[in-house]
Amino acid sequence: MDQQVDAVYENGMLRPLGPLTLAESQRVSITVSDPDASGSVHRDDFLAAIRAEVANLEHFPTIEEVQRALSKIPESLVEDFIAERENRF
């Protein structure tokens, strides 16, 4: 099964920016490509597009609306945040 996920190279290691459906210690083959060199959207262009989209919104959700929407997620995200934090070091 092929997966595509963005990653950041830090301290000599690649850190995935999204979840991977891999078994522990599973061997994989990695192809590395530079998004800037391949003509993909640059981060600054992406942020500018998002800012423009937000500027055109008619309604900004309140914190209560966001909390209500997030409360419908059946699982806790705490374990994900802790695991991500531990993977940084």
The burial class, CB within 10 Å (0-12 / 13-18 / 19+), for 7 is middle
Please report whether residue 82 resides in a domain. yes
Tell me how many domains the chain contains.
1
Please report whether residue 53 resides in a domain. yes
Query: How much is the pLDDT for 38?
Result: 56
Q: Distance (Å, rounded) from C-alpha 67 to C-alpha 83?
A: 22
Rg (CA), the chain: 18
Contact 20, 3 (CB under 8 A): yes
Please report whether residue 20 resides in a domain. yes
Query: How much is the pLDDT for 64?
Result: 95
Which of helix, strand or coil describes residue 16?
strand
Predicted confidence (pLDDT) per residue in 62-86, tens digit: 999 999 988 888 777 788 888 888 8
Please report whether residue 2 resides in a domain. no
Q: What is the pTM of this model?
A: 0.37
Please report whether residue 29 resides in a domain. yes
Please report whether residue 15 resides in a domain. yes
